[in-house]
A and B are shown apart, each in its own frame.
Chain A
């Protein structure tokens, strides 16, 4: 248990050769899916179908089936949207920010986290579109020359959101694909099955591991990381503008952008850890996604959890310090009003429980870690619920106060989004390399020349 943190832990454990690494990562794609895979897929598929059916009913009958009504017009759809966008922040953070910070341990988890980003943003994108009730008109969100001679309101945070989330999705997808190209080439050269070879060939675009290409490739990867870093920070900033630019008490605060970004990284890392714990076990990747990696992630969770806790406290302080009566009321109402139960779930899951990560034993215990990260996910969902619902249900006008209760449709669609996410994750683990083969090879022991090079 005595770990010397002054020495950088090896990224790949167990002295794996390049061939071993490749075999390990490629194994899930080269074996037939087993029973466990189908069981997992059918569970997540069931949730997905429940969500799809309830969604179809919502479109046919109208969104009146949901709990959203005056005064809480932003119920579950917006809560879920912010939650999923937040989950989506870990991937780009790991692949871009940790890349720029030269954190080698990111290589084992980057691919998976990027994939989760893309799937989470897909889940997130569903919600604002269905919230309108007529998702087939979503094209109107884009500025295009039309016969009304109208443009979208470029000064509205909701339009910023459209641009931010769609840019984020596109850039994440491109970033992911760029990382996958060399791996597609590896798979192309490994496989002998004709159909798979064709598919891998198409997606590898004819990559031939040429160093003349690697040179530009590395440059491009760095440029993309450089752009993705401010992008990932901007996305949740803009999502927080949806709230902060309004004048609703409890929303109209300048702390929102950093608070939301910290929360996003917090929840995203928690989700990545949740899923990785299973993936490394099931696919035998414990030597590549090591316990050291997971421990480092719990440290990030601890740090961002503290930031989130600071934001909770600072909101109360500013409400008191500002002297604005409504603001003060909203925060007291948050902690002791009708939604106090949600507030205290949020505080205990996000601030109190992660403090256990100060203890090294818990940081290095997989079961304890799993429980805590799942609770963090729960807490972060409730954070968005608390922010959205408590501010709206009692705002300036006491005559229109109310209590928001989600219906079975709201809950079913939330479950459906989890179904969509996990279905995509499960399919991903079987279809694509869950760890970047070429990046892991590059950081394996003895993979780099030890003389005459740049290092």
Chain B
């Protein structure tokens, strides 16, 4: 059998007074690696063990302050820089309104860091394989006895001397503590691998189900299924299966005027242009022409469609036939359609149609400018100082 390594020697005492006296003696004898185990903290033990005051408060201070600073800076950044928004008439950096969260984060970080710092940094927990744990000594000190342990690593450690010292101090029991045998857990056991596999399948399956199925089921689907009519969707509510309703027959929209020459070839004699040729009306006509007419007729009315053959090109608007047409005839064609050109009466108003007619006249004139027109333009430019 392998020789067990000694952790240290322990001694039990049965009253608080006796342990305090014993600890005083041991610490004054110069032992360094000793510890006292009591079921509850004893008053005056810090002094007896000559312990320095706990430095735990520094962790609390640092993390508490950084919690406050982080909260304030983050809220400042989020509310004033990243997405500034006026809420309730408050300034972007509304310090009084930031205080509650700053306070909460300070407390949260301070307490969590204190506890985690103490357990890990100060205590090196978890330490369930510490040699003292599981010993009779530990069972006694966690119930109602008080104990001292001196580690074998202490410079002054000497088995016989310490035993004598303990007896002199009035111990009721001395126990030798050994390091536990190190246990090894082989990684590739059949059971373990099977366990991992089951866990993997379970978590994978659950994740898949939740993300791909559950979130699209009632009631997790963001209220997608609701008992209401949705336009352009099929509905069982009406017998025709449409969610959307059509107006009752004979309904007249507000402002609608029936066009009395519908389907006639040339009612131009009854139509006269009511709109004066002003710069404003020409620009308005240009806007409408470019919107509605230019896709087929081209930007300048040349019949050069932008539709690249998807729709037959119309003839040019600069032919003599069009030039000689009265305004009323062009208006009628826009209104009524001609050949394969559909009616534009629903897309444009009466004013817009007449404005388009005016603009077509401007285009025709511009394409057939005379020398005298150029001179006029030059004169105008000179007058404007260009």
Contact = CB atoms under 8 A, between A and B. Distances in A.
Given A19-B143, A174-B111, A208 B104 contact: no
A60 B217 CA distance: 11
Contacts of A156: 87
A18 B39 contact: yes
Contacts of A136: 220
A224 B90 CA distance: 34
Given A18-B143, A211-B49, A215-B51, A154 B130 contact: no
A160 interface: yes
B41 A171 contact: no
A210 interface: yes
B37 interface: yes
A210 B41 CA distance: 9
Given A219-B56, A449-B44, A209 B141 contact: yes
Contact of A441 (B24, B39, B97): B39
A76 interface: no
B142 A186 contact: yes
Interface in A216-234: 216-220, 223-224, 227-228, 230-231, 234
A233 to B, nearest CB: 10
B75 interface: yes
A153 B37 contact: no
B100 A241 contact: yes
A22 B127 contact: no
Interface residues of A, number: 76
Contact of A211 (B35, B57, B218): B35
A449 B45 CA distance: 9
A170 B110 contact: no
Interface in B124-173: 125-130, 132-133, 138-139, 141-144
Nearest to A177: B115
Interface stretch (B14-22, B268-276, B358-366, B371-379): B14-22
Contact of A450 (B17, B49, B220): B17
A388 B79 CA distance: 30
B17 A449 contact: yes
Contact of A208 (B47, B78, B132): B132
A185 B104 CA distance: 32
Contact of A223 (B42, B57, B141): B57
B115 A178 contact: yes
Interface in B30-54: 35-49, 51, 54
Contacts of B144: 17-19, 22, 441
A455 B103 contact: no
Interface in A145-178: 149-151, 153-157, 159-160, 163-164, 167, 170-171, 174-175, 178
A157 B126 CA distance: 39
Contact of B143 (A190, A446, A448): A190
B220 A224 contact: no
B51 A212 contact: yes
B115 A206 contact: no
B210 to A, nearest CB: 10
Interface in B79-94: 79, 82-83, 87-88, 90, 94
B112 interface: yes
A223 B38 contact: no
B143 A230 contact: no
Contacts of B139: 189-190
B365 to A, nearest CB: 53
Contacts of B174: none
Contact of A155 (B16, B60, B98, B222): B98
B65 interface: no
A238 B83 contact: no
A448 B43 contact: yes
A220 B114 contact: yes
Given A234-B103, A449-B17, A154 B78 contact: yes
Contacts of B90: 155
Contacts of A405: none
Given A149-B83, A205-B126, A189 B46 contact: no
A292 interface: no
B16 A449 contact: yes
B40 A441 contact: yes
Contact of B38 (A171, A209, A219): A209
Contacts of A219: 54, 56-57
A17 B43 CA distance: 18
A167 B104 CA distance: 6
A215 B82 CA distance: 46
A214 interface: yes
Contact of A452 (B21, B74, B87, B115): B21
B107 A227 contact: yes
Given A167-B108, A216-B122, A223-B60, A189 B87 contact: no
Contact of A153 (B43, B56, B87): B87
A438 interface: yes
A206 B120 CA distance: 12
Contacts of A449: 16-17, 19-20, 42-44
Contact of A206 (B56, B60, B105, B126): B126
Nearest to B64: A227
Nearest to B106: A227
A453 B42 CA distance: 9
Contacts of B94: 155
A442 interface: yes
B276 to A, nearest CB: 51
A260 to B, nearest CB: 14
Given A160-B100, A216-B123, A438 B107 contact: no
Contacts of A19: 143-144
A164 B103 CA distance: 9
Which residue, A19, A62, A189, A205, has most C-beta atoms of chain B within 10 A? A189
B119 interface: yes
A173 B141 CA distance: 27
B290 interface: no
B41 A218 contact: yes
Given A210-B35, A211-B45, A214-B38, A151 B142 contact: no
B101 interface: yes
Contacts of A455: 43-44
A348 interface: no
A62 B225 CA distance: 12
B37 to A, nearest CB: 4
A234 B104 contact: yes
A224 B114 contact: yes
Given A170-B108, A453-B43, A155 B141 contact: no
Contacts of A189: 138-139, 142-143
25 contacts: A136-B220, A154-B78, A163-B101, A167-B105, A167-B108, A170-B111, A178-B115, A188-B142, A189-B138, A189-B139, A208-B130, A210-B35, A211-B41, A211-B51, A214-B41, A215-B41, A215-B51, A216-B123, A220-B118, A227-B111, A238-B100, A441-B40, A442-B40, A449-B42, A454-B47
Given A220-B56, A223-B60, 10 more contacts: A22-B143, A155-B98, A156-B87, A202-B126, A209-B38, A213-B122, A224-B114, A238-B100, A441-B39, A441-B144
Interface of B: 16-17, 19-21, 24, 35-49, 51, 54, 56-57, 60, 64, 74-75, 78-79, 82-83, 87-88, 90, 94, 97-98, 100-101, 103-105, 107-108, 110-112, 114-115, 118-119, 122-123, 125-130, 132-133, 138-139, 141-144, 218-220, 222
> Sorted from nearest, which 4 A-B pairs have the closest CB atoms?
A453-B44, A18-B144, A206-B127, A442-B40
